Amino acid sequence: MGSATIFFWLQLPNVTKNYRTALTITGIVTLIATYHYIRIFNSWSEAFTVASKDGGDYTVQLTGAPFNDGYRYVDWLLTVPLLLIELILVMKLPQADTVSLSWKLGVASALMVALGYPGEIQEDLSVRWFWWCLSMIPFFYVVFTLAVGLAEATSKQPSPAAASLASAARYLTVLSWCTYPFVYMVKSVGLAGPAATMYEQVGYSLADVLAKAVFGVLIWALAAEKSAVEESGKLLPN
């Protein structure tokens, strides 16, 4: 995540001014994630002790300190709206559409994260499902808006390469986003204990790398392609 941030920011001079805000935000998203993953790493290390007696098999024991999953939700609350805004900005829609889409998707996605958290910290399965369902309402709104609403914007990209990158970014968002509700369900279907916690953490981490760093690379490639088209004069910047 941290390397992705540096990569995006070092690429700022290589894109035209039109895409620098999008690329700056792309790097901020992975920076915020870097910070929270360091906190998650430390919280994880403090919650478990791995040791072997007499050089035999290693065993894992709880230290009593809690593993704090709240860092993920604070991270998502900040990064998920920013992720959507970077996608909207790189599309370079008319100003009014950019502002209205950023507000709608930003608020809906923050709501989605906020509604997921009360369920995540519950052991009661029916309460977990209740918050999962509530959270899925803004989730579907965002995914639907991306899959359908931005299709038109994709078709207006200035070159076939740009259109195919924009399309890939949209679909990667939908695909990586759909991972989260399934990972959330790991504990809701009654799995518990160390294995469930491990699957959940691995699942969320993989989805985060896809949704932030890999997605960011697509945003950068799209910005670079559109900058090249603009600079070659095939299309004048708006």
Site for its own copies contains 196 (CB under 8 A)? no
In the complex with its own copies, the residue whose CB is nearer, 2 or 149, is: 2
Cβ 156 to its own copies shortest distance, Å: 23
238 near 30, Cβ under 8 Å? no
How far out from the chain centre does Cα 79 lie? 6
Alpha helix (H) ranges present in 14-159? 20-47, 70-91, 95-120, 125-144, 151-155
Q: Which stretch binds its own copies (CB under 8 A): 57-65, 128-136, 162-170, 181-189?
A: 57-65
Distance CA 89, CA 82 (A): 10
C-alpha count within 13 angstroms, C-beta hemisphere, residue 117: 15
CA Rg value for the chain = 20
| 48 beta partners | 62
80 near 111, Cβ under 8 Å? no
Report the amino acid identity of residue 98.
T
**Residues 63 to 122: which contact its own copies by CB under 8 A?**
64-66, 78
Compose the 7-36 pattern: x for residues touching its own copies by CB under 8 A, - for all others: x-xxxx-x--x--xx--xx-xx--xx--x-
Cβ 152 to its own copies shortest distance, Å: 25
Number of residues that bind its own copies (CB under 8 A): 30
Cβ 68 to its own copies shortest distance, Å: 9
Q: Which stretch binds its own copies (CB under 8 A): 2-10, 136-144, 152-160, 167-175?
A: 2-10
In the complex with its own copies, the residue whose CB is nearer, 34 or 181, is: 34
In the complex with its own copies, the residue whose CB is nearer, 151 or 237, is: 237
In the complex with its own copies, the residue whose CB is nearer, 47 or 134, is: 47
Distance CA 110, CA 116 (A): 10
Distance CA 230, CA 77 (A): 34
Site residues (CB under 8 A) for its own copies?
A: 2-3, 6-7, 9-12, 14, 17, 20-21, 24-25, 27-28, 31-32, 35, 50-53, 55, 58, 62, 64-66, 78
